[in-house]
Each structure stands twice: as C-alpha cells, then as structure tokens.
Structure 1
Amino acid sequence: MRFGVTMDDTRELTRRVAEAAMRLAAERGWRRTGPVEVAKAAGVPLAAVYRHFPDRADLLGAVSTVADEAVLADGDADGAGAGINEMAGETARDRLFDVMMRRFDALLPFRDGLAVAVRDLRREPFTALAFARRYRRSMAWMLRAARIEADSPAGALRAAALGALHARVFRVWLTDDTADLARTMAALDGELRKAESWANSLCRRSSGGTTAGGAEPIDAPAV
C-alpha cells in the first residue's frame, strides 16, 4: 500500500503510527520507542514515517491528530457531524465540555501508552518542548470545534489556558476506571466552572460590573 498519496492514505498512516507508537510505549517504555521501531510495528515504510513523523515528538503528534480528527469529524458540514452541529442552544462551557469529552473518548485506545509516555517525558524535556507547539495547536482546534474564538491574541491565551486545564484533567483521566469516565467528567466540569467563574469575575472588574452594553457577565470560560 502506498502512503501519502491521498488524504485517506495519510489518515490511515497516522492511525497506524499512533497505534504502534502507543502499543510499543506500553510494552517497552516510551524512551525505547522510536520511528524505526514504530515503522516496523505499524507495517509501514520507514520512508513514510520519515516524511510525516521525522521526530519522536511527531509520534505523539500522531496520537493528537487521531483524537483531534475524531472530534472535528463531528462538525463536518455534510451532515455527518450531528454532534457538534446540535450544540446551537448550549453555553460555551457546555460546548467545550462536550468537545473535550469527545477528545478523551477518542484517546481511550491509547491510554496505556500515553500513561507511560507522560511518565517518561519528564526525563525528555526537549521532546516535550517539541510536542508543546503541536499540543497548543490541538487546543486551538478544540476551541474552534466548540465555536469559541481562537484566532486572535485573546484566542491564543484561551488555547494556552485550555492546555493547562486539559493537562490537569488528563491526570484524572489516566487513572479513571469508571465505565462512563465519571471521574473525568466531574474533573472537567469542575475545571470549566472555575475557568468560567474566573472569566466572569475578570469581566466584571474590567467593565464595572457588567459587560459592554449592560449585558450579563459572559458565560464563556477563560479558555
């Protein structure tokens, strides 16, 4: 099979690389998981991995891409993405809660490998730093999926805040053994409510108690 020729080929390559990387990480440790080993385990040409995932940080990026695309597919304009399109009557916090839980659901098949990777990344600051840019980009797309502005200086701050929020909830998710991810949902809801309260408080202080035009304080979280 030739990879990198069509969008579907690239998507399949990304999925296979992500699955192989996390499987190897769970079995042998993240520090012993590299592009050569992943290419062999995934059954894909090494040249394809070199072209699309040249660094170890890019292997983690493959996992993020799979999760991000699973969320964004729910927003497709062709009607297949009813999930996000049905958010019209929800608050920004509700929309973001839904989007982030969809992302955690999409990450479930990779959880064992991610747990090992997160642990081992503490000893790999350069890999972590290299992945940070990809991580911020993922968070910006989650904001867009929730129909929260992410393409301005304020949007960049929201993406950074969402990244910090996600990291805190992620630690809960890694050990959440409930059937419906109840602990993760509770942690995410609590974090979003705190962010929303902080944003509203900041808005009141900056506008003398109300938003512009005398409206009620915004209900959008700081992320």
Structure 2
Amino acid sequence: MQSEPQVARSAILEVALHLARQSSWDAIHLFEIAREMGVPLAEIHRHFPNKDALAEAWLDVADAALLQLPQVPGWRELPQRERLQQAYTTWLDALAPHRELTREMLGYKLQPEHMHLQARGIMRTSDTVQWIREVAMLPEVGWRRELAETVLTTIFLTVVAHWLFDASPHSRRTKALLAQLLNAADLGARLTAGRLRRQPLPAAAS
C-alpha cells in the first residue's frame, strides 16, 4: 500500500503565500493548497488545523528573525536604545516580502465575526512584545517593567499600523517614526526617573 505524501510546514506556507498573491488572503482555501501541492487535505490539517494557523506561521517567521538578533556579534555591547530599534525593524523587515498579504491577514483577523482571532491576536502581540524585551535585554522589574511593557506595546501597535501602509523605500517613514517614538519613550523614562529621585522620603513615624 502506497503511503500518503508528506510535506513540510514551510512548504505549505510557501504555497499558501504564492496562491494568496495571485488573488487575496481572504480568497484562498485550504483545499486549494492541498490541490496545488498534490496532497490530501488531511496532510494540510496535520500541520495547520485552520487557515488562521497559516497566518500565525507567517508571523512566526518574524519572531524567528527577531530571536536571531542576540547571536549577532557585539549585540550585548550595543546601547539599549539601539537594540530596541533593531528588534522592531528586524521583525518588520522579515514580513516585508509580503507586506500586502500581511495587511490582509491582519484585516481578516479584525473582521467582526472573528472575535476569537482577535483574542488570539492580543495574546500574540503580548508575546511578541515580551520577546522584544528579552532580545533587547531590558532589565526593568516590578512596576517599571509593567510600565515599559505598556509603552513598548503602544510603540509596537503604532509602528505596525503605519508600516502596513508604508510605500516608502525600505520602510523609511516607518523607521523614522519608530526612532521618534523610542526617543520620546527614552526621554519620558529619564524624566520619570528624575522625578522619583527628587521625591522626599516619607517622614518617619514619631
């Protein structure tokens, strides 16, 4: 008995992106991917239980590129601000070959009937921001960490929203916006730290 053909996750994702570029992300179906690859639909399901899992796999490509940064020689010696800049831009640059499809994927998640995908997207954003913090080796703990996460998440969402529609060469406008936001965040952190240092200690109870 001849065994069913098996394919790798990366091959399925590549075919899905290829088909989507010919039409749109909304228009492709998993059975079309199976037909294009000459494999049973069950083989697609073995790797991807639903269409959104393909979109998540595409975003995983950006996460994987992000996580390679600590292997760059001299990474630890870079200023924290530079590590953050590179972390954000590396994540975006990994998705740049399919920017329009990425926009369509995220738009698909935001459709009113896809509330479950939106909840998953919130968790994914939180996870990605956490990995940006780890890659950039941010040292904050306690309430400072929580504040930093809020700021970094706001920057992430703002920059991604701008990048999705940025037609400038090499996303220059997005990268300029990112630099401005990081500078503002750094200034805010310095001012906050300065105010905290100037606060008088509470008087000891008599």
Aligned to 1:67: 62
Letter of the structure 1 residue corresponding to residue 97 of structure 2: P
Aligned to 1:174: 164
Aligned 8 A contact 1:173 1:181 in 2: yes
1:180 match: secondary structure: helix
Residues 2 and 25 of structure 1: is their aligned pair in 2 closer, same or farther, counting only changes over 3 Å? Answer: closer
Aligned to 2:82: 94
Q: Please report how far the alpha carbon of residue 168 of structure 1 lies from its aligned counterpart in structure 2 after TM superposition.
A: 0.9
Aligned partner of 1:147 among 137, 156, 177: 137
CA shift digits 1:77-113 (9 cap, x unpaired) = xxxx32xx32333321111101111111111112110
Is 1:134 matched up with 2:129? no
TM-score normalised to the size of structure 1? 0.69
Aligned partner of 2:186 among 196, 214, 221: 196
Letter of the structure 1 residue corresponding to residue 163 of structure 2: W
Structure 1: how far apart are the matches of 2:193 and 2:121? 33
Q: Please report how far the alpha carbon of residue 46 of structure 1 lies from its aligned counterpart in structure 2 after TM superposition.
A: 4.0
Residues 205 and 110 of structure 1: is their aligned pair in 2 closer, same or farther, counting only changes over 3 Å? Answer: same
Aligned partner of 1:111 among 84, 87, 99: 99
Residues 109 and 204 of structure 1: is their aligned pair in 2 closer, same or farther, counting only changes over 3 Å? Answer: same
TM-score normalised to the size of structure 2? 0.74
Q: Please report how far the alpha carbon of residue 149 of structure 1 lies from its aligned counterpart in structure 2 after TM superposition.
A: 4.4
Matched residues, number:
193
Percent of aligned pairs with the same amino acid: 25
Structure 1: how far apart are the matches of 2:29 and 2:151? 30
Aligned partner of 2:49 among 32, 48, 54: 54
1:70 match: secondary structure: helix
Residues 161 and 22 of structure 1: is their aligned pair in 2 closer, same or farther, counting only changes over 3 Å? Answer: farther
Rg larger in structure: 2
Structure 2: how far apart are the matches of 1:206 and 1:40? 63
Q: Please report how far the alpha carbon of residue 194 of structure 1 lies from its aligned counterpart in structure 2 after TM superposition.
A: 1.8
Quote the RMSD (CA, aligned, Å): 3.1
